[in-house]
Amino acid sequence: MTTSMITEWLRAQPTLAGSAPPFDLSALPDHPDELFVTWIRQAAAAGVAEPHAATLATVDVDGMPDARTLILKDISPDGWAVAGPRSSAKGAQLAAHPVAALNFWWQPVVRAVRVRGVVREASPEDSAADLAARSSSARQTVAAGDWVLWRIVPERVEFWQGAPDRRHTRVIYELTDASWTRSQQ
Ligand SMILES: Cc1cc2nc3c(=O)[nH]c(=O)nc-3n(C[C@H](O)[C@H](O)[C@H](O)COP(=O)(O)O)c2cc1C
């Protein structure tokens, strides 16, 4: 396949072909975590097989961005948790720049969620508990003490829902002076 053929092929691919559930903009929760839990459950109910898989973006020591797929492990007042080896590229990047963004895309419901914030390492106990919760085969691939649970403390969370007429909805939560403000675009 030549480059011009792939261009045509890409242009021919459908986009925003899913179907969004009802989204009542007059009944939005005050806290983004609450809306996220509603949305991820609706994504699962609509058939998204692994709705907790997300793209984690980080920045390396030279300021070069990087991204990979990870599993969301938890959401709590302490942050949105992901986990992996400290010895990995993301481990080095988070040590150098403890900031990250996480992006979810749930095609069947035409929804995406985007979060960014500073990253705090969980306690050794919480990291060990996360590792202990993995399957024994998954645990065997990790050196002792290398597994880290990181918590992204959200500063901005965007909820995006696509519409067939392209009048998409964006609800943005931003943390200002320790309280959440909400806007729509
Ligand atoms: C669906 C899916 C889930 C994944 N979950 C994790 C995870 O929770 N933690 C992890 O360290 N890597 C996970 N990976 C592997 C990462 O995408 C990545 O390849 C690996 O963490 C190395 O990334 P790094 O070199 O940027 O550190 C997952 C990959 C996929 C496709």
pLDDT profile of the chain (185 residues), mean per 10: 86 94 96 98 98 98 98 98 98 98 98 98 96 90 92 98 93 96 95
The two tokens of residue 117 are 């914030």
Whether ligand 1 lies within 6 angstroms of the CB of 53 is answered as yes
The two tokens of residue 128 are 């060990």
Closest atom of ligand 1 to 85 CA is: 11
Closest atom of ligand 1 to 67 CA is: 26
Ligand 1 centroid – CA 18 distance (Å): 26
Closest atom of ligand 1 to 50 CA is: 1
Return the pLDDT at 89.
Answer: 98
Ligand 1 centroid – CA 160 distance (Å): 24
Mutate which of 52, 71, 82, 141 for ligand 1 pocket (most atoms within 8 A of beta carbon):
71
Distance of alpha carbon 128 from alpha carbon 62, whole angstroms:
31
Return the pLDDT at 147.
Answer: 97
The two tokens of residue 114 are 């985007």
- Angle, CA of 177, 180 and 183, to the nearest 5°: 120
Ligand 1 centroid – CA 71 distance (Å): 8
Q: Answer yes or no: are the C-beta atoms of 94 and 149 closer than 8 Å.
A: no
Return the pLDDT at 1.
Answer: 64
The two tokens of residue 65 are 């961005």
Return the pLDDT at 146.
Answer: 96
Mutate which of 60, 64, 69, 106 for ligand 1 pocket (most atoms within 8 A of beta carbon):
69
Return the pLDDT at 143.
Answer: 87
Which long-range contacts link 40-49 to residues 24+ away (Cβ below 8 Å)? Answer: 40/104, 40/106, 40/113, 42/109, 42/111, 43/104, 43/106, 43/108, 43/109, 43/111, 46/18, 46/21, 46/106, 46/108, 46/109, 47/108, 48/106, 48/107, 48/108, 48/109
Return the pLDDT at 115.
Answer: 98
**Residue 22: helix, strand or coil by DSSP?**
coil
**DSSP E strands: which ranges in 15-110?**
53-59, 65-71, 74-76, 79-85, 99-106
Return the pLDDT at 27.
Answer: 96
Q: Which residue has the tokens 């691919």?
A: 13
Return the pLDDT at 166.
Answer: 87
Whether ligand 1 lies within 6 angstroms of the CB of 84 is answered as yes
Whether ligand 1 lies within 6 angstroms of the CB of 83 is answered as yes
Does the predicted TM-score (pTM) go above 0.75? yes
Return the pLDDT at 3.
Answer: 75
Specify the CATH number for 25-184; select among 2.30.110.10, 3.30.1360.30, 1.10.3720.10, 3.40.1190.20: 2.30.110.10
